[in-house]
Structures are given as C-alpha cells and as structure tokens.
Structure 1
Amino acid sequence: MYDELCGFEGKAAAVGGRGKDPVNEPMIRHWCEAMGDTSPAYSGPDAIAPPTMLQAWTMGGLSGHADGTGRATAYDELLALLDGAGYTSVVATDCEQEYRRPLRPGDAVTFDAVIESVSPRKTTRLGTGHFVTTRMDIRAGADGELAGTHRFRILKYAPAPAAVAASASTSPAAVPRERVPDRPTARRPRPVVNRDNRGFWDGIAEHRLLIQRCTGCGTLRFPWLPGCNACASPDWDTVEASGSGTVFSYVVMHHPPFPAFDPPYAVALVELAEGVRMVSNVTGVPYDEVRIGMPVQLEFLRCDEELELPVFRADEPQGSER
C-alpha cells in the first residue's frame, strides 16, 4: 500500500485558491490583540501583517471557499484511501512557515498546495498510521509574487487499543458526573525547558512566578521570549508576580482523554494583576463553576517527585452566586 500512497506525492492538494478577504487592518488588529503583540510594525500607514498570519489569509472558515477553490480531488482521494485502510483518525502534528515578502493591507492572496510527502507506516503513542505533509505556496498582489510557504503535517492513524479503551471509559455515558475519578497514575508531560525559558522554570522551583520585563521600554511579556515584541530589544530582567489574577477566558476539555488528566476539566487564560496573561488550571472549584472574571490566586501544584506547576485557586467559595 505504501507504493500506492507514494503515488500521490507531487499531486495537487489545492488549486487556484483565493483568500476570502484581502489582507486587512481589522484582522491584523484582532490577531495582535489575541497574541498580545504590540509591535508598531503592525499598525499605522506603513503597517504590515504579522508573518505568522500567513495561513490565516487562506482559510475558508466554517463555510469553506464558496467559489469552488481550495482542496483538490487528489487530496480527498488520498484521505479516502487511508480511511479505507483503517487509518480513520487524524491529528495535526506540526507546521513550518517560510516568509519571502511582507503582506500589507489591500493585498489579494492566492494559493496553491501540493502533497509533498507521505511517510512510511509509523507507530506513535496515539496509534499506527502515516504522516501526510502538504506544502502551500501563498502569493500576493497583481503579479502573484511569492509571499511565503506553509508546510502542514497531519497523522492519519488507527487508534491504539489503549487509546480506544481510554476513550470508551471516559465517555460521558460511562462516567457518572457525581463520581470522583481515581487519581491518575500516569505522569504529566514534561515541559520543554530551553535557554529562552529556563529562568521561568528556575523561578517556579523557588515558588516564584517571574515575568520578563524589557529593560529598553519597560514592557512586561509572558510567555518568555528572547526579545521584546514592542521595541525588539534583546535586553531584559524579571519582576515577580504578586500571584493575584482573574479568569479572562476558559474552555472545558471533555475529549480526547490524555494520560494523567481526567476530563472534564477547565483550562483558563488567567490575567495577572501585572497585566500579562498565562494559561493554567483553576483549582478549588468544580470545572463547571469556573467563570470569566473569577478572582484567583497563585499556588503551586506538586504533580510528582520531579514536576511542580503554577496553578490558580479560586478566591470565591464553591457554589457562590454567579
């Protein structure tokens, strides 16, 4: 079957695609607000679009591309072949972007995509399947100048028996809401610690939540970055967070089940008193009592003998009026 899969390499995944909207200032503003990016390069008369928005201009949204552009038949045939072989599940694994020229408000975006590669059969924690990589060339302007390239990789796989069993055992029908789940025995995933964020994790080990501060312009930033997203200065120091915050937004995770986590549980975007935001868990209340605006206070959760994480305990008593 792998020879048949390889036959799709080089075939079109999208032909003659056109962005539903030209590059525009409102979308740039929304993106920057969501990302907390205050760079002056993205506003004003000479504004450019953030490079990482490259794929956003090609997306069809919930309604797709009504003009018929977009995904090509070969890509659908490849996915159907994998489905027929039992690789019925899919998960996005990673993406890579290359930038050639900035996109500016008013640019019309066009794109084509090709099935770049299909991997041999691989076995992962999720199950066994094939990685499919597509490359999208994104062009802009009347001359169709190449603005950038986006490579997107998915895994089409057959779920491992353990994953299927876990999914069945944690479905809403199988787990009564009032039952308190057993404490998970699996270890939580380890955070990736590198030279850019090591200081943050060193602070956590000392029960200190450290926020980066640009010594050039004084802007606070989180998560930790190698340079300032306001003035581009590489110089910084840290300030210690007071630990007070409020729930800015949250989601409740029901699926998929993951070792060391018992769904449903709430994942919150917490706005610290200092003005930056971070993603963490809210403790002290059931998942369905977490609400936007809820005051929370920093605490540290010992997950195992090696891992301790910053979480936030709700300041409000359980069952308080909403």
Structure 2
Amino acid sequence: MADPQLLSNVRALVGRQYGRVYAWDEVNAPMIRQWCEIMGVENPLYTDPAFALGTPHEGLIAPPAMLQVWTMEGFHANHYPPGSTDENPYEVLKLFEQYGYNSVVAVNSELSFTRPLRLGEKLYYTTRLDAVGDEKTTALGTGFFVTLVMSHFVEKAGGDEPVGELLFRVFKFRPANAQPAAPAPAASAAPAKAKRPQPGISDDTRFFWEGCAQGQLLIQRCTACATLRHPPAPVCIQCHSFDWDTVQASGRASLYSFVVMHYPEVAPFDHPNPIGLIELEEGVRLIAGLVGIEREQLQIGQRLQVEFQTFDDALTLPLFRPVGE
C-alpha cells in the first residue's frame, strides 16, 4: 500500500502547468527536408515548393509527426533557448523516487494535431501533469501510471494559436522480486570494477566473435550468390539460401553516420561515448565504437581503420580509428 503522504503530495501536483519551452528555430525547409530523408518520407507537399503551391495549403508545410522536433533541446541535455522555463515538469517522478519507486518504463506516446505547421512559424510548448493513476501491480512491479501532456503553440501577434499536443505516459514502479541490496563493503575494500557486457552468441554469430578474438573482421557471405550480410543471419536476404561461409574484411572503412552518447553515463564506458555506423570497404555496414578522435573532429565520410581491443581479458571488440588521407 502506498504511503499516504506520498499520495497526498502527488495528488497536489496533478493539474499543475509548467512554463514555456521555446523552439530554437522557426519552421524551415532544410530541417523538413532532412527529417523526410531520414524517415524515408517522400510526400512532395513537404519538400517540393512548386507542388505545394498548387495545394490548398498554398505552400510547404511540415510533416505533422515533426511537431515535437521543433522544440527539442538540441545536442546538449537541457539546452533550451533563452526565455524557456527552468521548471522541472518531471518533479512528480522525483517524488516517487523518494519513496522507493525508482524504476521507470515508457508506456505510450500520442501525438494529436490541430493544423499543419507552415514555414516561418515559431513554436513553444507548455507541460501539464495530466493524471497520476491509482497504485497498480503489474508483472514489472508495483507503481503508478503518470501522464504528461505537452501543448504546442505558434506565437502570433494577435494571440498564440494551439497547433497540437503530445501525450506521454510512463509507469513509475518498484520492481517485482527485487533483490535485497548487497551488504556494504568494508571501508578498506576497493569498489568492484564494472565489466563490459558480454554479447549474446548463437550458432549464427559465433564465427564473428571467434574472428575478433583472432584479430580478424569476418563477414558472412552467401555461397549461392556471394551476397555479404551483416548482422549475421541464418538465411540470405537476396536468394534465401541457407548456405554461407565467411570472408575476412580488410578493415578499411568510412564513417557513414554517428551518435555521441552523453547520458545516462553507464560504467565502464567512457563518456562522451562516440558510436559509429561504419561502412566497410566491402560494402556492408556495422555499428562499432570510435576511438582516437574527439567529438568535434568527427566527419561523415572520413576514413577509418579497424583495430581490436580486448576488455576484461575476455571480450575482443572491433573498434574503428580515423586514418590520415
């Protein structure tokens, strides 16, 4: 049964409205084009000015699903434009944590739209703690469903106009069958060093990890049609043959894309932690860590070379390091 004081504090927050978070940029064609390319959207209403001019919209509009994109914080966490609120709309989640509900899982997210966004419009959103459900017990554990609603507006001289809402619901809970905390180590004992998580290894992937241990980057190859494939799979994606062997890649590659992980910081990884989508010289792509380079030096298309590093005397990984022209 939940603590009565917790329930009282939580109910007092329901309905609270949090201040504005502004968009960094006006709705603009380059961001729309890039989003459409990434998402595989080919509707000319979003990218072809001549086509859009002949529609009832009389010009380009933004894809409705981009609503949240315009007000995102950007590359750095909690980096919002001047004038944005510094209130924490997730304070109710922090309140639950004080009473032992430390786990969270996203349940659902729903977008609704009033009208399309047009080029040159500037957005902001406000957040409302819409609801906190009664205590529930699920397979995950016991906790509460928390619903937040982000209402989006376009700034206008004659009065700001609502254009859509984002509903976001999470389950804040105490895990079921949680293990009791281990006894605290003696003051003189050194803290245990976190180890790299081990990959799941099956009959389809064992060759890859055994190759890494030998300093070889092995790629699966269909023996029927010679198609290379990665990640490994039991059947060829081209001719559906089950027969395959491997070929050793040269290790030469280029950086097709990348992300830099800042948060959450998870031991034993270093942060910021750059991860690349690597395009091998042989034509297949794989995801791997990047070493020997700072975030500011990363460039799409730059040349890379594989190197193998062993962690915890057990796990050998292919990492990629930039090479000179």
* TM-score, normalised with respect to structure 1: 0.52
Q: Which amino acid aligns with 2:69?
A: A
Q: Which amino acid aligns with 1:118?
A: V
The answer on whether the counterparts of 1:25 and 1:105 sit within 8 Å (CA) in structure 2 is: yes
Aligned counterparts of 2:264 and 2:152: Cα–Cα separation in 1: 33
Structure with the greater alpha carbon radius of gyration: 2
Indicate whether 1:108 and 2:122 are aligned. Answer: yes
Residue-by-residue CA offset, 1:298-320 (whole Å, 9 max, x unaligned): xxxxxxxxxxxxxxx97x9x999
2:256 match: 248
The structure 1 residue matched to 2:160, chosen from 119, 144, 157, is 144
1:92–1:295 CA distance, 2 compared to 1 (3 A): farther
Residue 134 of structure 1 deviates from its aligned partner by: 0.5
| % same residue | 30
Residue 44 of structure 1 deviates from its aligned partner by: 4.4
Residue 24 of structure 1 deviates from its aligned partner by: 2.3
* RMSD (CA atoms): 5.2
Aligned counterparts of 1:18 and 1:157: Cα–Cα separation in 2: 31
Within 5 Å, which residues of 2 pair with 1:1-322? 1=4, 3-4=7-8, 7-8=11-12, 10-45=14-49, 46-61=59-74, 62-69=78-85, 71=87, 75=89, 77-88=91-102, 90=104, 92-119=106-133, 120-123=135-138, 125=140, 128-140=142-154, 142=156, 143-158=159-174, 161=178, 174-175=192-193, 206-208=235-237, 247-250=255-258, 268-269=276-277, 281=287, 293-294=303-304
Aligned counterparts of 2:72 and 2:323: Cα–Cα separation in 1: 41
Residue-by-residue CA offset, 1:37-77 (whole Å, 9 max, x unaligned): 444222344221122221122334433353253746xx455
Number of corresponding residues: 239
In structure 2, stretches of 5+ residues that fail to align are: 50-58, 183-190, 203-232, 240-248, 307-316
Residue 7 of structure 1 deviates from its aligned partner by: 1.7
Q: Which amino acid aligns with 1:152?
A: F
In structure 1, stretches of 5+ residues that fail to align are: 166-172, 188-203, 211-242, 297-312
1:30–1:321 CA distance, 2 compared to 1 (3 A): closer
The answer on whether the counterparts of 1:249 and 1:270 sit within 8 Å (CA) in structure 2 is: yes
Residue-by-residue CA offset, 1:282-302 (whole Å, 9 max, x unaligned): 5xxx87599965589xxxxxx
Aligned counterparts of 2:146 and 2:104: Cα–Cα separation in 1: 10
Residue-by-residue CA offset, 1:54-103 (whole Å, 9 max, x unaligned): 1122334433353253746xx45523421321234555454211122111
